[in-house]
């Protein structure tokens, strides 16, 4: 069975079925996952960048920063600095 998650097709080569055997692999050294479209040749695990703050190794979420360093969507209610959860609003305004 193909090594791609949820794929039940028989293996053709290198653990992949006919549908997945010819797809590009992640450019990260030692990673054999399939590259995702729009990630410049990386799998979803290696496509995300690290936070822009020096010394922080957390994954960037919004505007190149992790959630600790301001990488959150804020509530769209004027003057509110809380994190947005649903439809751009915080829990108090949603």
Is residue 66, in this structure, part of any structural domain at all?
A: yes
Is residue 43, in this structure, part of any structural domain at all?
A: no
Residue 10 burial by Cβ neighbours in a 10 Å radius (0-12, 13-18, 19+): exposed
- pLDDT of amino acid 70: 82
Is residue 54, in this structure, part of any structural domain at all?
A: yes
Rounded-to-integer distance, Cα 55 and Cα 53, Å:
6
Give the SS3 label for residue 13.
strand
Number of domains in the chain: 1
Is residue 78, in this structure, part of any structural domain at all?
A: yes
What pLDDT, in 10s, does the model give residues 76-87?
A: 999 998 889 888
Query: What domain range includes position 70?
Result: 48-93
Give the SS3 label for residue 11.
coil
Is residue 16, in this structure, part of any structural domain at all?
A: no
- What is the mean predicted confidence (pLDDT) over 51-59? 86
Is residue 74, in this structure, part of any structural domain at all?
A: yes
What pLDDT, in 10s, does the model give residues 15-33?
A: 889 888 888 888 888 887 8
Is residue 4, in this structure, part of any structural domain at all?
A: no
- pLDDT of amino acid 4: 82
């Amino acid at each position: 069975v193909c090594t791609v998650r949820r794929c039940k097709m028989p293996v053709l080569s290198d653990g992949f079925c006919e549908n997945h055997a010819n797809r590009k692999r992640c450019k990260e050294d030692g990673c054999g996952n399939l590259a995702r479209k729009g990630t410049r040749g990386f799998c979803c695990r290696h496509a995300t960048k690290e936070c822009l703050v020096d010394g922080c190794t957390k994954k960037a979420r919004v505007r190149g920063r992790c959630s600790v360093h301001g990488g959150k969507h804020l509530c769209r209610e004027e003057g509110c600095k809380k994190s947005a959860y649903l439809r751009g609003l915080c829990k108090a305004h949603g």
